[in-house]
Amino acid sequence: MIAIGCDHGGYDLKLAVESYLKEQGVEYVDFGCDGEKVDYPDIAVKVCEKVVNGECDKGILVCGTGIGMSMCANKINGIRAAVCGDTFSAKYTRLHNNANVLCMGGRVIGAGLACEIVHEFLNNEFEGGRHIARLDKMKNLEGK
Protein backbone atom coordinates (compact mmCIF):
# COMPACT_ATOMS: atom_id res chain seq x y z
CA MET A 1 0.00 0.00 0.00
CA ILE A 2 1.31 3.43 -0.99
CA ALA A 3 0.52 6.63 0.92
CA ILE A 4 0.32 9.61 -1.41
CA GLY A 5 -0.17 13.32 -0.83
CA CYS A 6 0.42 16.72 -2.34
CA ASP A 7 -0.06 20.42 -1.84
CA HIS A 8 -1.65 22.74 -4.42
CA GLY A 9 1.68 22.97 -6.31
CA GLY A 10 1.72 19.22 -6.80
CA TYR A 11 -1.96 18.47 -7.28
CA ASP A 12 -2.03 17.94 -11.07
CA LEU A 13 1.04 15.73 -10.97
CA LYS A 14 -0.40 13.71 -8.09
CA LEU A 15 -3.50 12.97 -10.19
CA ALA A 16 -1.29 11.78 -13.04
CA VAL A 17 0.68 9.54 -10.67
CA GLU A 18 -2.53 8.14 -9.20
CA SER A 19 -3.79 7.24 -12.71
CA TYR A 20 -0.50 5.46 -13.30
CA LEU A 21 -0.76 3.57 -10.00
CA LYS A 22 -4.30 2.47 -10.86
CA GLU A 23 -3.15 1.31 -14.29
CA GLN A 24 -0.38 -0.72 -12.65
CA GLY A 25 -2.72 -2.20 -10.07
CA VAL A 26 -0.81 -0.56 -7.21
CA GLU A 27 -3.03 0.24 -4.22
CA TYR A 28 -2.73 3.66 -2.62
CA VAL A 29 -4.35 5.90 -0.01
CA ASP A 30 -4.62 9.60 -0.77
CA PHE A 31 -4.01 12.02 2.12
CA GLY A 32 -4.94 15.18 0.19
CA CYS A 33 -4.99 17.87 -0.84
CA ASP A 34 -7.80 18.14 -3.37
CA GLY A 35 -6.32 21.12 -5.14
CA GLU A 36 -7.02 23.74 -2.46
CA LYS A 37 -4.16 25.74 -0.91
CA VAL A 38 -2.55 23.82 1.92
CA ASP A 39 0.73 23.95 3.82
CA TYR A 40 2.91 21.09 2.62
CA PRO A 41 4.14 20.12 6.15
CA ASP A 42 0.56 19.18 7.08
CA ILE A 43 0.36 16.69 4.23
CA ALA A 44 3.92 15.41 4.60
CA VAL A 45 3.29 14.40 8.20
CA LYS A 46 0.09 12.49 7.36
CA VAL A 47 1.81 10.45 4.65
CA CYS A 48 4.98 9.83 6.65
CA GLU A 49 3.11 8.69 9.76
CA LYS A 50 1.54 5.90 7.71
CA VAL A 51 4.95 4.82 6.43
CA VAL A 52 6.58 4.91 9.86
CA ASN A 53 3.76 2.99 11.55
CA GLY A 54 3.83 0.35 8.82
CA GLU A 55 0.29 0.88 7.54
CA CYS A 56 1.83 1.85 4.21
CA ASP A 57 4.97 0.44 2.60
CA LYS A 58 6.13 3.64 0.94
CA GLY A 59 5.05 7.24 0.46
CA ILE A 60 4.87 9.61 -2.48
CA LEU A 61 4.74 13.37 -1.87
CA VAL A 62 4.34 16.04 -4.51
CA CYS A 63 4.65 19.80 -4.05
CA GLY A 64 5.81 22.54 -6.41
CA THR A 65 9.47 21.54 -6.26
CA GLY A 66 9.40 18.38 -4.14
CA ILE A 67 11.86 20.12 -1.84
CA GLY A 68 9.58 21.41 0.91
CA MET A 69 7.91 18.01 1.18
CA SER A 70 11.28 16.25 1.40
CA MET A 71 12.58 18.63 4.06
CA CYS A 72 9.53 17.95 6.20
CA ALA A 73 9.55 14.21 5.58
CA ASN A 74 13.20 13.89 6.53
CA LYS A 75 12.54 15.47 9.93
CA ILE A 76 10.39 12.49 10.86
CA ASN A 77 12.22 9.60 12.51
CA GLY A 78 12.35 6.57 10.26
CA ILE A 79 11.76 8.47 7.04
CA ARG A 80 14.31 8.49 4.24
CA ALA A 81 12.85 10.81 1.63
CA ALA A 82 14.43 11.57 -1.74
CA VAL A 83 13.51 14.29 -4.21
CA CYS A 84 13.88 12.77 -7.65
CA GLY A 85 13.72 14.42 -11.04
CA ASP A 86 15.32 11.55 -12.96
CA THR A 87 14.98 7.78 -13.11
CA PHE A 88 18.61 7.00 -12.18
CA SER A 89 18.21 8.75 -8.82
CA ALA A 90 14.89 7.03 -8.20
CA LYS A 91 16.47 3.63 -8.80
CA TYR A 92 19.60 4.24 -6.73
CA THR A 93 17.85 5.88 -3.82
CA ARG A 94 16.10 2.53 -3.42
CA LEU A 95 19.20 0.38 -3.99
CA HIS A 96 21.58 2.41 -1.83
CA ASN A 97 19.52 4.59 0.53
CA ASN A 98 16.49 2.36 1.01
CA ALA A 99 14.38 5.48 0.52
CA ASN A 100 10.85 4.99 1.75
CA VAL A 101 9.37 8.29 0.52
CA LEU A 102 9.63 9.70 -3.00
CA CYS A 103 9.19 13.44 -3.46
CA MET A 104 8.64 15.14 -6.81
CA GLY A 105 8.05 18.65 -8.06
CA GLY A 106 4.83 19.27 -9.95
CA ARG A 107 6.30 22.49 -11.32
CA VAL A 108 9.55 20.79 -12.29
CA ILE A 109 8.79 17.58 -14.17
CA GLY A 110 6.04 16.34 -16.46
CA ALA A 111 3.66 13.43 -15.94
CA GLY A 112 5.49 11.02 -18.26
CA LEU A 113 8.80 11.33 -16.46
CA ALA A 114 7.13 11.31 -13.05
CA CYS A 115 5.47 7.97 -13.80
CA GLU A 116 8.79 6.47 -14.91
CA ILE A 117 10.37 7.75 -11.71
CA VAL A 118 7.58 6.15 -9.69
CA HIS A 119 8.12 2.90 -11.59
CA GLU A 120 11.83 2.83 -10.61
CA PHE A 121 11.03 3.75 -7.05
CA LEU A 122 8.47 0.99 -6.64
CA ASN A 123 10.30 -1.73 -8.52
CA ASN A 124 13.78 -1.66 -7.02
CA GLU A 125 14.82 -3.17 -3.71
CA PHE A 126 17.47 -2.11 -1.20
CA GLU A 127 20.78 -3.86 -1.91
CA GLY A 128 21.84 -4.10 1.73
CA GLY A 129 25.49 -5.11 2.09
CA ARG A 130 27.85 -2.17 2.43
CA HIS A 131 24.91 0.24 2.60
CA ILE A 132 23.58 -1.10 5.88
CA ALA A 133 26.30 0.51 8.03
CA ARG A 134 25.73 3.82 6.22
CA LEU A 135 22.03 3.71 6.95
CA ASP A 136 22.81 2.89 10.58
CA LYS A 137 24.95 6.03 10.72
CA MET A 138 22.13 7.98 9.08
CA LYS A 139 19.72 6.67 11.71
CA ASN A 140 22.10 7.93 14.43
CA LEU A 141 21.68 11.46 13.08
CA GLU A 142 17.99 11.48 13.98
CA GLY A 143 17.22 14.01 16.70
CA LYS A 144 20.59 15.81 16.48
Hey, which residues are catalytic here? Answer: 63, 96
- Chain residues in the site for ligand RB5 (CB under 6 A): 7, 9, 40, 63-65, 67-68
For 46-105, what is the HEC assignment? Answer: HHHHHHHCCCCCEEEEEECCCHHHHHHHCCCCCCCEEECCCHHHHHHHHHCCCCCEEEEE
Amino acid at 63: C
- What is the smallest separation between the CB atom of 37 and ligand RB5, expressed in angstroms? 8
Between 71 and 135, name the residue whose CB sits nearer to ligand RB5: 71
DSSP state of 129: T
Which residue, among 15, 3, 76, 12, has the nearest Cα to 41 in the 3D structure? 76
Which residue, among 54, 48, 33, has the nearest Cα to 101 in the 3D structure? 48
Q: Which residue is nearest to ligand RB5 (CB)?
A: 68
Between 59 and 68, name the residue whose CB sits nearer to ligand RB5: 68
Between 2 and 5, name the residue whose CB sits nearer to ligand RB5: 5
- What is the smallest separation between the CB atom of 126 and ligand RB5, expressed in angstroms? 27
- What is the smallest separation between the CB atom of 21 and ligand RB5, expressed in angstroms? 21
